Amino acid sequence: MSGTQPLRVAVLAGGRSSEHEVSLSSGCAVREGLQTAGHEVLWVQIERDGAWHSEGERLSLCPGEGLLGADVVFGALHGPFGEDGTVQGLLEMLDVPYVGAGVAASAVCLDKVLFKQLMSTTNTPQVDYLGVRVQRWHSAKEEVLAEIDSLGLPVFVKPAHLGSSVGIAKMTARDELIPAIEVAFTHDPLVIVEVLARGVEVECGVLGHSHAEQASGAGLALASEPGEITFAGEFYDYAAKYTPGGMELKIPARITASARARVMELAVEAFEHAGCEGLARVDFFVDGEEVLVNELNTMPGFTPTSVYPKLMAASGISYPELLDRLCRLALERHEQRQLSGTA
């Protein structure tokens, strides 16, 4: 398939997670961007109960038969049942190309604890943390609290498998920890407790290179110009992310040239170590020359206020071009796997 031929793209949006509405906003923006790029878009909405609908009809999916005759699928899904490898596995079974990370990388990166454990094996500098499973919390609460004490306060308490800052709380006193952790467990049976990192929040987009680009020496992926997140509240919460005016993205980030280079280097390294494909957004804390990796998002937001498209635009890649490139990368990966006999 040529690189200029219009594509038939199925956009998946909605989903079963608490980020359902955010996903719908991302999906609408993706649909418009793909249409601007000249592609035909098929809208597939995944309801909160998990049902798939298109054009008012409930879809019936059959392994090996693709999805609505689409050339490629763009899953604008966030959180569990969308960004965690489950939908990616389903799309593999349907034998249809799809944008973004595969099953394993999606699962690893959505699990904040597992991602940090993976990064530790490569000596990636990151924020100190503790992962707590609900079973251990109930059986050894005082032991867990003692381990949190060793981290020091303040800390952030987060559900391990959610994005968009859902369920996050900042704790500055020990007596606040128990209720905060128990609220986080209402979202997820695995909670992560992270030390408050000093410095500024910086985010860097990653966009995979095609095989031809890699063969010419371009490397595995492109790192965007880093951007600095500023906001009025205590931390970068849900309201700051999705309320117009709630945050400001400063590009370029107000960090030193050496810290900028380190952010871009670590962004691509984290992308590669996690086995990502297509795209990712890597979040950092930067304090002078110290650069710490915080998280990696395999399907960052694509809403009008989302950071990833803005970072790529500042790096010379327009929104329609970005979407087109992601779809072409998905097709290339699928074709390569078929040639190698792994699909």
Dihedral (Cα; 324, 328, 329, 330), 10-degree rounding: 100
Given the residues 98, 129, 236, 242, select the one marked as catalytic.
Answer: 242
Given the residues 14, 15, 18, 19, select the one marked as catalytic.
Answer: 19
Strands 190-195 and 155-159 turn out to be antiparallel
Asked if 21 is an active-site residue, the reply is no
Angle at 26 between CA 24 and CA 30, to 5 degrees: 115
User: CA of 297: how far to CAs of 100, 136, 283, 294, 303, in Å?
Assistant: 10, 27, 8, 10, 15
Cα distance between residue 309 and residue 317, in whole Å: 9
- Over the Cα atoms of the chain, what is R_g? 20
Given the residues 16, 31, 260, 281, select the one marked as catalytic.
Answer: 281
Residue ranges of the alpha helices (H) in 37-176? Answer: 86-94, 103-110, 112-121, 134-139, 141-151
SS3 state of residue 8:
strand
Asked if 32 is an active-site residue, the reply is no
Asked if 242 is an active-site residue, the reply is yes
Asked if 254 is an active-site residue, the reply is no
Asked if 216 is an active-site residue, the reply is no
Given the residues 18, 23, 26, 164, select the one marked as catalytic.
Answer: 164
Given the residues 188, 283, 324, 332, select the one marked as catalytic.
Answer: 283
Cα distance between residue 157 and residue 160, in whole Å: 9
Cα distance between residue 147 and residue 176, in whole Å: 15
Asked if 281 is an active-site residue, the reply is yes
What does the DSSP 8-state code read for residue 176? G
> How many other C-beta atoms lie within 10 A of the C-beta of residue 198?
11
SS3 state of residue 179:
helix
Given the residues 18, 23, 297, 315, select the one marked as catalytic.
Answer: 297
Asked if 203 is an active-site residue, the reply is no
Site of tokens 């391990």: 160
Give the per-residue SS3 of 262-331: HHHHHHHHHHHHCCCCCEEEEEEEEECCEEEEEEEECCCCCCCCCHHHHHHHHCCCCHHHHHHHHHHHHH
Site of tokens 């098929």: 42
Asked if 297 is an active-site residue, the reply is yes
**138, two tokens:** 């109930």
Given the residues 82, 205, 301, 308, select the one marked as catalytic.
Answer: 301
Q: Which residues are tagged catalytic?
A: 19, 164, 242, 281, 283, 295, 297, 301
